[in-house]
Amino acid sequence: MMDVGRHPKVELMTFSEVESITGFVGNFNVRVRQKARYVDASECTICAECAEVCPVAIPDAYQQGFSSRKAIYLPFPQAVPSAYVLDMENCLGNNPIACGKCAEVCEKKCIDYDDQDKFVDLEVGVIIAATGMDVYDPTAYDEYGYTRYENVITSMEFERLICAGGPTDGHFIRPSDRKAPQSIGFIQCVGSRSRDGRGNPYCSNICCMNTVKDTLLLCDHYPGIATKVFYMDIRAFGKGFEDLYMRSREEGVRYIRGIPGTVVENPENGNLVLTVENTTTGQLEEHELEMLVLSQGVIPRRDGDQIKHLLTLSTTSDGFIMESHPKLKPVDAPTKGVFIAGCMESPKDVKDSVTQAGAAAARASILLNAGKTRIEAITSQINSELCNFCGICAKVCPYNAILAPDRKAKKAPIIIQAACAGCGACAAECPQDAIGMRHFTNDQIMAQVDAILAVEPQKHLVTFACNWCSYAGGDNAGTARLQYPTSCRLIRTMCSGRVDEKFIMRAFRMGAPMVLVSGCHFADCHYISAVRWTQKRMDRIWSKLDRLGIRDDRLRLEWISAAEGQKFAKVMRELEDKVKSVTKEEIEFTMKVLAEEEAKAQEKKAKRQLEVTVL
């Protein structure tokens, strides 16, 4: 951090928060709130005299609450900038009756109680987000007694206790009697790899090696201390990690394969008695330890929704930020010009975070150095004559690429071509048909529907498949030589969000017995959230079919990923039977009803066009 702070080309804005981000790749406008520090950082010499006279004492969050800090304080010893900050929420104020002592003693006169938040507007070309993570709160695991027993601590608290800059100057003591413990236990996977709903299902990646490191620290500093690690699996897959793990075992650390079921405190000496099934021996064991460390997992940032909203990002099912492509674009966010690094993407250690940050910086500089960028060929375009300024397009766009219309000024929405990724959700949702796509046009898709149903329509299953997942799922089924019926006919769209109601109705109108819309699973959507609009739209179309007296189960929806060739084949086989169950009469009735509907719609459209011409 010190290096970053001193770098001539890096402007570090600490104690600041991003308020808003607008614009698009190459032209982002970022508004930053620089919070009031109440201390002039350029003048402060960290003499600490202000803190000495400050009468307020509150728990120090940096030291995990093991010690206290004053209302005017240095956040941590290596803080950049190296200057005090005044916590106004806890300050008594500068009224001489109340306090004002710090300002009195500050020789440099750098304390200003009237300091205000400042706003800074930045124009940037690209953004790298590296907002980190939070740690899991182990209170849900009541059996470990974290809230009941003083000598049960978390791995974060352990870090502070063993740190030379910590509250005990690095003397490792247990909280209840401030004595150096002779035995200590670690429980792994607290809040990770959990299937009971209390923790998270994923592996937190860093906890195993963190514990191995902690045991080695203990062995180095306190030879003779009995250390036991209770684990499910030790995952030591990084470079040199296995050696470290082996060293820990050689130093005498006992690794016991089993997670304790109960932890009870011995009231006489404050020791903790753990009951655990050793799954290697199958025996139920009891272990008495003087101290217990819960190796807590990591979780996505608690204020992650705010960051997601600012950068129009989406998350995977575990809550971490989704990358543009897990293998080919692991540091690119789906929004062009935005890159991600570190634990906001997934739990990772320092080395992986640094590697990812380097990659993100390199990817960002490619864009910056080029000075120009290739945009998608498949973008949407607005026919402003047809637009009625409803603004639905701007609402559905996952990329915020559409500037909302101005109804009063009769100004149609504007599509930022550089930001548009071409999902087509806006085109499918526009009630006025005022939005079209460049490539994969309405006419092209309709022509495919017509061609599929030109001969023996009653035998064909019309399937709309998204380019990235379902179409690739079909390919996967093919390359795996999985059998599926030949009656299935695929129409490729870039996203299932592009599948307009009128494509489906056209298929039914042309005699299709069944129509299937298939797309990516929500977590895999190539277009952030476009797939969610598909599901909403399907509800609407099912209701419409109901209203027209057409069986709703003739229109199907399936999420099929590129890897799910088997699911693709299975769905096709199942639907083949359903296709056969649709009667000739049913199809004829559907065609008749929809022909009437189409006639009505055309009449309405002609009337509107006439109105527009007259106006």
Partner 1 sequence: MTARDTHFKCLNCGHEYDGVYDPDKVTERTCPQCRSNSVRRLPEKKATAKK
Contacting positions for partner 1 (CB under 8 A): 521-523, 532, 535-536, 538-539, 542-543, 552-553, 555-559, 574
Nearer to partner 1, 275 or 535 (CB): 535
For 558, the 3-state DSSP assignment is strand
Contact criterion met (CB below 8 Å) for 206 and 349: yes
- CB of residue 55 to partner 1, shortest distance in Å: 46
- Bridge partner list, 134: 299
Would you say 16 or 535 has its CB closer to partner 1?
535
Using CB atoms within 10 Å of the CB of residue 55, give its burial: 0 to 12 exposed, 13 to 18 middle, 19+ buried.
Answer: exposed
Alpha carbon distance 207, 184 (integer Å): 17
Nearest of 529, 508, 505, 506 to residue 519 by alpha carbon:
529
CB of 396: closest distance to partner 1 in angstroms? 12
**CB 611 → partner 1: shortest distance, Å?**
32
Q: Which is nearer to partner 1, 336 or 556 (CB)?
A: 556
Query: In degrees to the nearest 10, what's the CA dihedral of 421, 422, 428, 429?
Result: 20
Residue among 554, 556, 570, 546 at smallest CA distance from 519: 556
User: Toward partner 1, which CB reaches closer, 94 or 315?
Assistant: 315
Query: CA torsion angle for 519, 525, 530, 532 (degrees, to 10)?
Result: 70
Of the pair 574, 598, the CB lying nearest partner 1 is at 574
CB of 552 to partner 1, least distance (A): 6
Q: In terms of CB distance, is 54 or 538 closer to partner 1?
A: 538
CB atoms within 10 A of CB 518: 25
| Residue 537 Cβ vs partner 1, minimum distance, rounded to whole Å | 11
Instruction: Give the residue with the Cβ less far from partner 1, 218 or 560.
Output: 560
Task: For residues 548 and 597, give the distance between their C-alpha atoms in angstroms, rounded to a whole number.
Answer: 9
CA atoms within 13 A on the CB side of 39: 28
DSSP conformational letter for 574? H
Closer to partner 1 by Cβ: residue 476 or 561: 561
For residues 21 and 124, what is the distance between their CA atoms, to the nearest angstrom? 10
Q: Among residues 28 and 508, whose Cβ is nearest to partner 1?
A: 508
| Closer residue to partner 1, CB minimum distance, 81 or 485 | 485
* 38/70 Cα distance (integer angstroms): 14
* Distance between CA atoms of residues 166 and 19, nearest Å: 34
Q: How far is the CB of 460 from partner 1 (least distance, A)?
A: 19
Q: How far is the CB of 577 from partner 1 (least distance, A)?
A: 11
Rounded to whole angstroms, what are the CA distances from 482 to 118, 342, 471, 562, 564?
A: 62, 40, 15, 14, 11
The nearest distance, CB 557 to partner 1, in angstroms, is 5
For residue 513, the minimal CB distance to partner 1 (Å) is 14
Compute the least distance from the CB of residue 476 to partner 1, in Å: 18
User: Which residues pair with residue 39 across a beta bridge?
Assistant: 111
Residue 326, preceding bond cis, omega within 30 degrees? no
What lies within 8 Å, CB to CB, of 601 at 6+ separation is: none
